[in-house]
Structure 1
Amino acid sequence: MNPTSVRDATSHAGGERPPSPAGDRRFGLPTASALVVGSVIGTGVFALPSALAGFGPISLVAFVLVTIGAIALAVTFQALNRRIPGSGGPYLYAREAFGDFAGFINAWSYWITAWAGNAAIVVAWVGYVEVFWNTSHTKGWSILIALAGLWLPAAINLAGLRSIAAIQILTTVLKFIPLLFMATVGLLFVKSANFGAFNATGGSALGAISAASAIALFSYIGIETASVAAGRVRDPQRNVGRATVLGTLACAVVYILGTVTVFGTVSHGALLHSTAPFTDSANAIFGGRWAGDTVAVAAIVSGLGALVGWTLIVGEMSQAAARDRLFPARFAVGNRREVPAFGIIVGTVLASVLTVVSYTSFAKVFTTVVLLSVLTAVIPYLFSAAAQMYWLLTEGRRIHAGHLVRDLVVAITALLFGFWALAGSGYQAAYYGLFCLLLGVPVYVWLKVGRREYGETPVGPLSKGTLG
């Protein structure tokens, strides 16, 4: 995740948007595309093959279908940004289309996705740290490593270091190189015997594909980043959408081919229990440990970069909503370095609690946290697709019939994709995700009462005491 600020993500019901930064500070299509790639590719992808191994190679089918859905979402964001080119992304679209409550639900859900996603990233990060230390995977040490991985990025953000952008560029390059290598050269070492049964679940193919898709979707969380930071992009109505689609396609190629390489170079049995699958794959290709250790170092560095960026987003998403009076006012205040310190600290505490609970309560830690993050991420995606459909159906007379049909098909595909991912999350993730989501309702009531947004009690027969 690039730490580009989303503090401009304040939407206004009347259509007024915050001013864009000065022209010399905005970035064009290449940088916007790099923003998407850097946001989407985190440490989670380095652990994804192990999470998908339980389904077998059929999960690659799921990956392809998820990619199609992700591209439909990317095109939907492209169209939405043409309509509303300001910063804010899904939060902005939902509020503009459906009002304050929808905007709050999206901000709340996206906020949960950000800090819960940090818990998933750090769990994957721990797996690669343990290539060098705590190789026996002692649970207590794993938790301590994870907490260090969460609070170090928080400290970097709270310090307001100007070098955060440089850190993001460096870590994005370091994370992309091993994945690109695996997606190209690694394919030459694939052996069909390593793949195992096509559907390792032994159940229905449709059920396996649906469940694997929910996990695979985690690898695409972040495709909306360019739209979230649209106010910083030069010619946003043109470049944001193109960057979103191009960045998504670049990640898709590397993801799918890289996963094929891991599946084909590590035996299915070993992959099921691997905490660092790309390291195991590199060692299988070259023999010895040096190649795997190199991949592990790259994963560790890239994981820290992702955590630094997402930690900032946790704070800034809540700050943006607070400035619109849709989050508690305390979240809107920055520290002396203009960093949303309160939001960063609260988000890191919540991520830490989720990480500890996951390690102590769940057998499959990474998979469980990923599914929770996916469920809360799908909510803003669904609202975005719904907003696009709403505007197409209410203003369709102004659009050429052929374009209207095309855009409706894309929006409906994105909407159905969201529901499909929601269904594939499973009962446990749906329970915890819905619980976290609905916790926001009393918060919204409290905020609304605090703003005194209520009228006088209507005078009618009952209020006049006619029953007495």
Structure 2
Amino acid sequence: MELHTAPPPPPPPPPSKRLGKVMSLCMVVGTIIGSGITVLPATVAPFGFNIVLAFAVTIVGTICLALAMARLALKLPGGPYTYISVAFGDTTAFVTMWSYLISQWTGVAAVAIAVGGALGHVFPMVSSGVPLAAVAIGSILVLALVNLTGARSAGMLQVTATLIKIVPLLLVVLLVLLRLGTGQPLEALAPAPISMAGIAGAAALMLFAFTGFESAAVSTNVTDDAADVVPSATVNGTIFVALIYLVATLSVLWLLPAAVAGSSSAPFADATAPTLGPVAGALVAVIGAISAFGTGNALILLSVEVARSIANAGDLPPAFARTNRAGVATFSLLAATTVAVLLVLASISDNFVTVFNFVALVSAVAALVLYLVCAAAALKLKAEKPVLAGIAILYAVAMFVGAGWEATLWGFGLMLAGLPLRWWSRRLNSKAGGSTPATVPAPAELRE
């Protein structure tokens, strides 16, 4: 029997602090539907019809990735750190999860910036520069306070935000149907030539909007009946969101001229205001801000759980694993909050879309490492059909190319920066008499 090294799962929080079935599904839907979709029409507008083909690639690739993670969650409880440790060893597990932690921290900064961008439609003074940063930082601090009280509080906020954030997505679809019903012409997509580069570029920008489908798997240790809940929440949530994204994004671009959509900080609000009036547009903008806020809530919760799992493996200082009475790793929460605030301060600029695009791409690249390695783990451990796992792997590799060399280098640089921290943490744990992670066998059905 072959033995694999894997960290022991962290002790679960009390039942009252755990996530139920509805909350787990809302974690997936609410994490995916966030700042990504509220800004997506603006970021992909210049790509024209490439958008449709990029959506097809993104939907198929994302669902294959979601299936791989869902199958792993069903076959091997314990979350991604465990999957990767069993398949490829502790070092690969650390590098992967550290990269994913970076994606959560940068993601929190990106969605906080999107909160300010959405509110800038109502209050123009906060649409850029220092006022935008102030709103973003305020959002991060409020979310930190919510998460400090435990997973149950964060989960309740997620359910509420998820129900609210779907409204503008459905509203733009209804406005398109109204135009068609009254015989009004729809706006044309940007006249961009169809090309592989255009499809890959648009798909890479879409990836950030789709990140979050893994949230149920990452939060396995704070989920009731995880073996049943996590796979269904992952797959059903991803498919549901993918269909809404496709229709909503095209609807916005059919309502707004391509040039206007491409420079908008709140495209859903700009798309509804001409028909329903400025008050309705302002309301949609506020809902967009709530949408981004809800995503930030889920990202902070996930980052705390990821940091805690790494610390329990001895690869981060013990402080990252210590919890308060609500089961929250407070130092991990403080680290997430601090890094996100620093990233917001470092990204102050007068160009909202440019700043958001870069931070979002770096976050997506860092998350891609987890997606690629988990798809490879599903293939190696025979948890997923080879064809589907192969599609997931090819998609992840293609997205690294689509993200561009600058964002990819930043993502890989931040990933490798974790190795010295791991070395120092292991020395620190060794001097403190810390225990070595337990060795556990892979389940029989996952052994080669």
Normalising by structure 1, what TM-score?
0.83
Residue 92 (structure 1) aligned with residue 82 (structure 2): yes
Q: 1:35 aligns with which of 27, 43, 66?
A: 27
Q: Which moved more, 1:248-257 or 1:18-27?
A: 18-27
Q: Distance in 2 between matches of 1:235 and 1:312?
A: 19
Give the AA of the match of 2:215: T
- The answer to whether the 8 Å contact 1:58/1:209 transfers is yes
Counterparts of 1:216-231 in structure 2, within 5 Å, are 216-231=206-221
Give the AA of the match of 1:260: L
Inter-CA distance 109–180: structure 2 relative to 1 (3 Å threshold): same
Q: Distance in 1 between matches of 2:335 and 2:143?
A: 14
Q: Distance in 1 between matches of 2:19 and 2:369?
A: 29
- The answer to whether the 8 Å contact 1:74/1:248 transfers is yes
Inter-CA distance 135–270: structure 2 relative to 1 (3 Å threshold): farther
Residue 197 (structure 1) aligned with residue 190 (structure 2): yes
Q: Distance in 2 between matches of 1:238 and 1:330?
A: 32
Inter-CA distance 379–352: structure 2 relative to 1 (3 Å threshold): same
- The answer to whether the 8 Å contact 1:385/1:415 transfers is yes
Give structure 1 stretches of 5+ with no counterpart: 1-11, 393-403, 454-468
Q: Distance in 1 between matches of 2:309 and 2:112?
A: 25
Q: Which moved more, 1:408-417 or 1:138-147?
A: 138-147
Counterparts of 1:238-249 in structure 2, within 5 Å, are 238-249=228-239
String of CA shifts for 1:54-89, please: whole Å, max 9, x gaps. 222312321221011011011111221222033x2x
Match of 1:459 in 2: none
- The answer to whether the 8 Å contact 1:50/1:273 transfers is yes
Match of 1:59 in 2: 51
Residue 354 (structure 1) aligned with residue 343 (structure 2): yes
Inter-CA distance 18–315: structure 2 relative to 1 (3 Å threshold): closer
Q: Distance in 1 between matches of 2:316 and 2:93?
A: 11
Larger Rg belongs to = 1
Q: 2:286 aligns with which of 273, 278, 297?
A: 297
Shift of 1:302: 2.6
Inter-CA distance 41–327: structure 2 relative to 1 (3 Å threshold): same
Q: Distance in 2 between matches of 1:180 and 1:352?
A: 32
Inter-CA distance 371–361: structure 2 relative to 1 (3 Å threshold): farther
Moved over 6 A (4+): 18-28
String of CA shifts for 1:372-395, please: whole Å, max 9, x gaps. 011000001111011111123xxx
Q: Distance in 2 between matches of 1:21 and 1:345?
A: 19
Match of 1:264 in 2: 254
Equivalenced residue count is: 424
Q: Distance in 2 between matches of 1:293 and 1:228?
A: 35
Shift of 1:31: 4.7
Q: Which moved more, 1:364-373 or 1:223-232?
A: 223-232
Q: Distance in 2 between matches of 1:442 and 1:209?
A: 37
Greater relative CO, 1 or 2 (CA 8 Å, sep 6+) = 2
Match of 2:392 in 1: 414
Counterparts of 1:241-390 in structure 2, within 5 Å, are 241-286=231-276, 288-335=277-324, 337-360=326-349, 364-390=354-380
Give the AA of the match of 1:427: W
Shift of 1:213: 0.7
- The answer to whether the 8 Å contact 1:319/1:331 transfers is yes
Shift of 1:440: 0.9
Give % identity: 31
Give the AA of the match of 1:214: A
Shift of 1:22: 8.5
Shift of 1:443: 1.4
Counterparts of 1:446-465 in structure 2, within 5 Å, are 446-452=424-430
- The answer to whether the 8 Å contact 2:16/2:152 transfers is no
- The answer to whether the 8 Å contact 1:183/1:254 transfers is no
RMSD: 2.8
Secondary structure class of the residue paired with 2:5 = coil
Secondary structure class of the residue paired with 1:218 = helix
Normalising by structure 2, what TM-score?
0.86
Q: Distance in 1 between matches of 2:366 and 2:114?
A: 19
Q: 1:143 aligns with which of 118, 133, 140?
A: 133
Match of 1:443 in 2: 421
Q: 1:131 aligns with which of 107, 114, 121?
A: 121
- The answer to whether the 8 Å contact 1:120/1:369 transfers is yes
Q: Distance in 2 between matches of 1:187 and 1:419?
A: 37
